[in-house]
């Protein structure tokens, strides 16, 4: 037993991934790994977990720390918000945009205040936890404003007289709304990114590739639906032309003479338009089912 354990810990290359411990990206990051078929325990208060069926060790960290941990090699890869990465300006490689955790970093002012444009921020005090990104934005806009860096609850700063405006993350907008603030400038748009240390070795990169392949298959599947329908044979040509599948659709004869069953894959954003056209063309019994993984 001892020697077996020794073998495992010394020889097997394992990739360390840092994900957010709690907050905006936590649930979606865990879900993504699980959808990739990677099993691990993610109990509360856990600092790290080893995957049972993939050479991956998951570190649960504060989002603000993830870019530096990846840059320094404490973790090999990480899932982090673009907003956090740009603020810390860490030296990591972006390997994929993950499409979740979408939000924006915006400047907001009290609802009652007149705001005609970015020049209205001249000489004002802006509270934020995103000092660097804000500074860059103000410089680009040639606005001189005073940046008040605070560590949290930015949205209350104008109400207590600490600042004239704030620069903070917005996703649903409810935090701004509840604090009587209106969004006036978008500083940046953000989503979750997969980032990597720049000095991974060949073995580590191979695991990254395997993971990336799974991530892309999961994402592809989400954007597509499997569609099944029945079509009268005399309308088959017309119906088949309406379905832009990955390849040509599968057509099977039904027991009912004069009818066929058509199977294909369609993209989600074209979905309703295609369904309407199919119905109008005489398709019946249309079934649309989600796809779990899609390997193309
Ligand atoms: C951000 C931001 C707001 C909230 C905005 O905090 O500071 O409090 O989200 O979201 P809404 O528009 O949906 O109301 P976050 O939860 O990211 O926490 P953190 O900044 O402390 O990491
Ligand atoms: Zn944070």
> pLDDT digit of tens for each residue in the chain (296 aa)?
455 554 554 457 799 999 999 999 999 999 999 999 999 998 777 899 999 999 999 999 999 999 999 999 999 999 999 999 999 999 999 999 999 999 999 999 999 999 999 999 999 999 999 999 999 999 999 999 999 999 999 999 999 999 999 999 999 999 999 999 999 999 999 999 999 999 999 999 999 999 999 999 999 898 889 999 999 999 999 999 998 766 778 999 999 899 999 999 988 888 888 899 999 999 999 999 999 888 87
Pocket probe for ligand 1: among 84, 108, 169, the residue whose CB has the most ligand atoms within 8 Å is 169
The verdict on 85 and 174 lying in the same domain is no
The verdict on 213 and 229 lying in the same domain is no
Which residues keep their CB under 5 angstroms from ion ligand 2?
Answer: 63-64
Instruction: Give the dihedral sign, CA 196/197/198/203.
Output: negative
Q: Please tell me the distance between residue 129's alpha carbon and the centre of ligand 2 in angstroms.
A: 9
Cβ(153) to ligand 1 under 6 A? no
- Contact present, 124 and 139 (Cβ < 8 Å): no
| DSSP assignments along 189-217, one per residue | EE-EEEEE-TT--HHHHHHHHHHHHHHHH
pLDDT at 190: 97
The verdict on 91 and 197 lying in the same domain is yes
Q: Which atom of ligand 1 is nearest to the CA of 169?
A: 2
pLDDT at 10: 47
> Of 169, 204, 221, which residue is a domain's last?
221
Q: Which atom of ligand 1 is nearest to the CA of 63?
A: 22
Residue 295 lies in a domain: no
The verdict on 7 and 76 lying in the same domain is yes
What is the domain range of residue 267? 224-290
Here the CATH number for the domain that contains residue 158 is 3.40.190.10
Overall size of the chain counted in residues:
296
> Of 182, 205, 221, which residue is a domain's last?
221
pLDDT at 294: 86
pLDDT at 95: 97
The verdict on 6 and 97 lying in the same domain is yes
User: Rounded distance, CA 227 to CA 245, Å?
Assistant: 10
pTM for the model stands at 0.84
The verdict on 215 and 75 lying in the same domain is yes
What ligand has the least distance to the C-alpha of 102?
A: 1
Do the strands 125-128 and 165-170 form a parallel or antiparallel pair, or are they unpaired?
Answer: parallel
Both structure tokens of 3: 């020697």
The verdict on 75 and 203 lying in the same domain is yes
Both structure tokens of 282: 């005489």
Pocket probe for ligand 1: among 62, 158, 173, 175, the residue whose CB has the most ligand atoms within 8 Å is 175
Q: Please tell me the distance between residue 105's alpha carbon and the centre of ligand 1 in angstroms.
A: 10
Residue found by looking up tokens 């796809």 in the block = 291
What is the CB-side half-sphere exposure of residue 186 using CA atoms within 13 A?
8
pLDDT at 166: 98
User: Rounded distance, CA 174 to CA 182, Å?
Assistant: 11
> Of 173, 190, 207, which residue is a domain's last?
190
Residue 285 lies in a domain: yes
Q: CB 185: neighbour CB atoms within 10 A?
A: 19
Q: Please tell me the distance between residue 152's alpha carbon and the centre of ligand 1 in angstroms.
A: 9
Cβ(151) to ligand 1 under 6 A? no
Q: Please tell me the distance between residue 280's alpha carbon and the centre of ligand 2 in angstroms.
A: 51
CA-CA distances (angstroms) from residue 51 to 5, 48, 56, 58, 96?
A: 16, 10, 5, 7, 21
Q: Please tell me the distance between residue 101's alpha carbon and the centre of ligand 2 in angstroms.
A: 13
Here the CATH number for the domain that contains residue 244 is 3.30.70.120
Q: Please tell me the distance between residue 168's alpha carbon and the centre of ligand 2 in angstroms.
A: 11
The edge-to-edge listing of strands for the beta sheet with 146-149 is 146-149, 125-128, 165-170, 103-110, 181-190
pLDDT at 222: 87
| Strand ranges in 2-141 using DSSP code E only, listed in sequence order | 15-20, 48-50, 56-61, 77-81, 93-97, 103-110, 125-128
Cβ(174) to ligand 1 under 6 A? yes
User: Rounded distance, CA 291 to CA 296, Å?
Assistant: 13
Q: Which atom of ligand 1 is nearest to the CA of 177?
A: 14
The verdict on 160 and 197 lying in the same domain is no
| Helix (H/G/I), strand (E/B), else coil: 69 | helix
Residue 296 lies in a domain: no
Both structure tokens of 66: 């993830």
Q: Considering its fold, how many domains does the chain have in total?
A: 3
Residue 91 lies in a domain: yes
The verdict on 142 and 263 lying in the same domain is no
34's enclosing H/E stretch is: helix 26-35
The verdict on 204 and 57 lying in the same domain is yes
The verdict on 215 and 71 lying in the same domain is yes
pLDDT at 4: 53
The verdict on 31 and 163 lying in the same domain is no
Residue 260 lies in a domain: yes
User: Rounded distance, CA 141 to CA 186, Å?
Assistant: 12
């Amino acid at each position: 037993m001892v020697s077996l354990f020794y073998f495992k810990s010394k020889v097997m290359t394992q990739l360390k991934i840092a994900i957010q411990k709690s907050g905006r990206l936590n649930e979606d990051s865990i879900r993504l790994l699980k959808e990739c078929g990677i099993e691990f325990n993610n109990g509360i208060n856990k600092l790290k977990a080893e995957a049972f069926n993939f050479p991956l060790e998951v570190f649960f960290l504060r989002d603000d720390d993830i870019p530096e941990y990846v840059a320094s090699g404490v973790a090999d890869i990480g899932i982090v918000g673009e907003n956090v990465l740009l603020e810390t300006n860490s030296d990591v490689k972006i390997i994929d945009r993950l499409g979740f955790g979408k939000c924006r970093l915006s400047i907001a002012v009290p609802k009652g205040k007149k705001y005609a444009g970015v020049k209205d921020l001249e000489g004002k005090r802006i509270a934020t936890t995103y000092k660097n990104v804000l500074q860059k934005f103000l410089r680009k806009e040639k606005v001189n404003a005073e940046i008040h860096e605070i560590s949290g609850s930015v949205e209350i700063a104008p109400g207590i007289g600490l600042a004239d405006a704030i620069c903070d993350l917005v996703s649903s907008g409810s935090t701004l709304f509840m604090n009587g603030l209106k969004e006036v400038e978008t500083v940046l748009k953000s989503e979750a990114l997969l980032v990597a240390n720049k000095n991974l070795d060949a073995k580590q990169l191979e695991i990254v590739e395997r993971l990336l392949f799974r991530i892309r298959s999961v994402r592809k599947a989400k954007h597509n639906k499997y569609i099944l329908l029945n079509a009268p044979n005399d309308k088959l040509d017309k119906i088949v032309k309406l379905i832009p599948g990955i390849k040509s659709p599968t057509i099977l004869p039904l027991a009912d003479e004069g009818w066929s069953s058509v199977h294909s894959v369609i993209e989600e954003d074209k979905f309703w338009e295609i369904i309407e056209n199919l119905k109008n063309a005489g398709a019946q019994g249309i079934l649309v089912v989600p796809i779990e993984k899609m390997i193309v």
